[in-house]
Amino acid sequence: MVVIVSESFDKNIVVALDFPSENPALALADALDPDKCRLKVGKELFTRCGPQLVRNLQGRGFDVFLDLKFHDIPNTTSAAVAAAADLGVWMVNVHASGGERMMTACRERLEAFGADRPLLIAVTVLTSMSGADLAGIGLSGSPEEHVARLATLTRNCGLDGVVCSAQEAPKLKADQGEAFKLVTPGIRPASADRGDQQRVMTPSEAIRAGSDYLVIGRPITQAEDPLAAMEAIYNELATL
């Protein structure tokens, strides 16, 4: 099947390869075009398959977002992002709630990699969390307020952008500027199940809201026909 894409949205889609082993991950990668999308390797696949899986995807021409969401003391976290940079990933992330000194240490550590360094972004509030979930961990205020505060902290530390939901994108683009990258999971085509995601938008809503990169997992990976699901998403974006 040929995936029909709009030129303007090439590589805005990051497919989350949330699989329990290498075979389904590589099978989907082999069906996708590295000129039309990027791939995300997260905790499950990385813990099972390790850095060699990342190299296998890179060997197929894909940019890889290593989504391990590091959250630790500055020394440990900055060493971890340097390891990701050694692996040659396109993007790596930490939790913004690790704080200013941790994020600054990571940014400084990546300076040694020059122009070849990965993009460094920070997770604000997980897209699976609602205001009630925040209250449950003792945080008053809306997700949008926390995302805005953590995004400001992230930009002040010199990082390239944040992971947030597309619902927060209009405010973040206005507050933080166009160059600050917004990476948005919680993308759900109108017909797709939300699953555990709370703060969701459709692909076209997310692009209109200002998302730079749409992270999409289950609506593609769990579809009966993942390539048809991909095609439907690109066709939706082509109407913009």
Ligand X SMILES: O=c1ccn([C@@H]2O[C@H](COP(=O)(O)O)[C@@H](O)[C@H]2O)c(=O)[nH]1
Binding site for ligand X (CB under 6 A): 16, 18, 42, 123, 126-128, 163, 185-186, 195, 197, 215-219
Of 44 and 72, CB closest to ligand X: 44
Phi, psi of 95, deg, nearest 5 = -90, 130
CA 33, 47, 157 angle in degrees (round to 5)?
80
Whether residue 171 lies in the annotated active site: no
Q: DSSP 3-state assignment of 25?
A: helix
Of 37 and 123, CB closest to ligand X: 123
Q: Tell me how far, at minimum, the Cβ of 66 lies from ligand X, in Å.
A: 12
Catalytic residue among 11, 36, 43, 69: 69
Q: 88 and 61 in contact (C-beta within 8 Å)?
A: no
Q: Tell me how far, at minimum, the Cβ of 212 lies from ligand X, in Å.
A: 15
Contacts of 193 (CB under 8 A, 6+ apart): 218
Residue of minimal Cβ distance to ligand X: 217
CA dihedral 139, 144, 148, 154 (to 10 degrees): 70
Q: Tell me how far, at minimum, the Cβ of 215 lies from ligand X, in Å.
A: 5
Of 113 and 171, CB closest to ligand X: 171
Instruction: Please state, in angstroms and as integers, the Cα–Cα distance from residue 136 to each residue in 48, 123, 133, 149, 152, following that order.
Output: 31, 19, 5, 19, 24
Q: Tell me how far, at minimum, the Cβ of 197 lies from ligand X, in Å.
A: 5
Mark the binding-site residues for substrate, compressed into ranges: 18, 40, 67-76, 127, 188, 197, 217-218
Amino acid at 118: P
Of 74 and 185, CB closest to ligand X: 185
